[in-house]
Amino acid sequence: MDEAPTQSNEYSSSPEGAASTIASKNIVSERNRRKNLNDKLLELRGAVPRISKLDKASTIKDAIDYIQDLQEQERNLQAEIMELESESLKKDPGFDFEEELPILLRSKKSRCDQIYDHRVPMSHPIRVHELRVNSVGENTLFVSLTCSKDGDAMIKICDIFESMKLKIITANVAIVSGMVMKTVLIEADMGERDNLKIKIERAISAVSDHWST
Amino acid sequence: MDEAPTQSNEYSSSPEGAASTIASKNIVSERNRRKNLNDKLLELRGAVPRISKLDKASTIKDAIDYIQDLQEQERNLQAEIMELESESLKKDPGFDFEEELPILLRSKKSRCDQIYDHRVPMSHPIRVHELRVNSVGENTLFVSLTCSKDGDAMIKICDIFESMKLKIITANVAIVSGMVMKTVLIEADMGERDNLKIKIERAISAVSDHWST
DNA sequence: CCTTACACGTGATTC
DNA sequence: TGAATCACGTGTAAG
């Protein structure tokens, strides 16, 4: 690939003038490339507030450290925001409407989570029309569930997804012409997402009346 | 500094063997330096989630863009935290939950009214419970809005998203236990999505009543 | 002197 | 084929 300049190919087959032409073209091209790269590197250094040295290598290293710092700070800030949100939600003794909106994760909440461990109150089962569990990207699972909206099907579906301890990224419920559609994005790396897929399918099939598994 | 290799100094004044020795030393040293620099560059690429090409220049450019994205996100998150803190501190510990949920948004509600005032009348404002505007993938913006379903809140929300000239990929409205949830996927490249984010947040805040009165 | 860091020109390789 | 990218060896300053 890039090793061992085994032999210098003379390459004098071209007429005399051509070689110098292409050579100079290559020279100016390479010069431009270097210039561009150095400019980019300088711009990168301008974007990083903390700089150890003015080396090229140090510039890159500082940028890496800074990026990792920013990523960690972002995680901390988001965790803090979640903390604040749930905290301001907490004091509401009158109405607990939020139990029907399991949008964000944060399952450290309270009880009434493991209702669906084994049994589901099978008052009347859900009529599942479609269930899709697809892998999206590297560590994301996309779940799309459509069923008829009879009785408390909607609440049941939400409860099912809450009973499993999923790392939910986003969740959405929609009603379209008498159909309940739930769309969930779940964080799951390659190792666990196959298991999760089966787990979700089984959880749904456990509360549906006809779902050939 | 680094210009004009005026003339190749022959420099054969040294004994014959010495030149090759120092040359080989310089060679291996330079080789090491290059290796180190490339490793650093590779590591930098590993730290950046979004990668356009596997070029050196593109790697650096992507890193710069990513750093600027992270910096802006950090600002937004910190503003959000301050908002949440001040809000949850100064409010009476009563039970009007709508006023304790509002996230994001800053500004003084005086600006950017001229853009939307002619379109959405302020008959009675919307009670926004949650507004999320996230970047998903490369050129997609994910907007999730939850508010109480009183009056014509639903129509207003749709009007807002129609008044802005967004390239909407998918849009969805759901009603869950008295709450209106709208989910929108918007096409927006890296350059405009930050602006769009602020624009959407302000548009929503212009017709919501969180902390005003 | 020796080390470190750079820019340069050049041959190779890939698309 | 060219255009673009790369690694290499070398000369050259600064510390």
Q: Please indicate whether, in this complex, the C-beta atoms of B74 and A78 are within 8 angstroms of each other.
A: no
Q: How far is CA A166 from CA A90, A136, B20, B29, B191, in A?
A: 22, 16, 65, 52, 33
Segment A39-62, tens digit of pLDDT? 999 999 999 988 889 989 999 999
Segment A119-147, tens digit of pLDDT? 334 456 778 877 777 765 567 777 878 77
Closest Cα to residue B59, out of B68, B71, B49, B69?
B49
Which nucleotides along chain C are within 7 A of a protein C-beta? 2-14
Instruction: Output the pLDDT for position A2.
Output: 39
Torsion of CA A155, A156, A158, A159, to 10 degrees: 110
Going by pLDDT thresholds of 50, 70 and 90, the confidence category of residue B102 is very low
Least confident of A14-18, A56-60, A70-74: A14-18
- What Å value separates CA B17 and C1' C1? 17
Going by pLDDT thresholds of 50, 70 and 90, the confidence category of residue B183 is confident
| Contact residues for B147 (Cβ-Cβ < 8 A; gap 6+) | B126, B127, B128, B129, B153, B157, B179, B180, B208
Segment B159-179, tens digit of pLDDT? 788 777 788 777 776 654 456
Is the predicted pLDDT of residue A97 greater than 60, yes or no? no
Whether any strand C atom is under 7 angstroms from the Cβ of B30: the reply reads yes
Tokens 């589901």, located at residue? A120
- Mean pLDDT value across residues B125-142: 72
Cβ of A2 under 8 Å from any chain B Cβ?
A: no
Q: Which has the higher per-residue pLDDT, A178 or B188?
A: B188
Least confident of A16-20, B70-74, B125-129, B154-158: A16-20
- Mean pLDDT value across residues A189-193: 79
- What Å value separates CA A46 and C1' D7? 28
Q: Would you tell me which residues 156-175 of chain B have a C-beta closer than 8 angstroms to some C-beta of chain A?
A: 172-175
Is the predicted pLDDT of residue B95 greater than 50, yes or no? no
Instruction: Output the pLDDT for position B119.
Output: 37
Least confident of A170-179, B19-28, B72-81, B114-123: B114-123
| Contact residues for B174 (Cβ-Cβ < 8 A; gap 6+) | A172, A173, A174, A175, B180, B181, B182, B183
Share of chain A above pLDDT 70, in %: 62
Q: Which has the higher per-residue pLDDT, A90 or A159?
A: A159
- Mean pLDDT value across residues A189-201: 82
3-state secondary structure of B186: strand
Is the predicted pLDDT of residue B126 greater than 90, yes or no? no
The Cα diameter of chain A in Å comes to 92
Q: Give the nucleotide nearest to A59 (CA→C1').
A: C5
Instruction: Output the pLDDT for position A145.
Output: 82
The structure tokens listed for B132 are 């999320």
Q: Are B68 and B48 in contact (CB under 8 A)?
A: no
Going by pLDDT thresholds of 50, 70 and 90, the confidence category of residue B19 is low
Q: Are A78 and B77 in contact (CB under 8 A)?
A: yes
Q: Give the nucleotide nearest to B4 (CA→C1').
A: C8
Whether any strand D atom is under 7 angstroms from the Cβ of B12: the reply reads no
Instruction: Output the pLDDT for position A96.
Output: 39
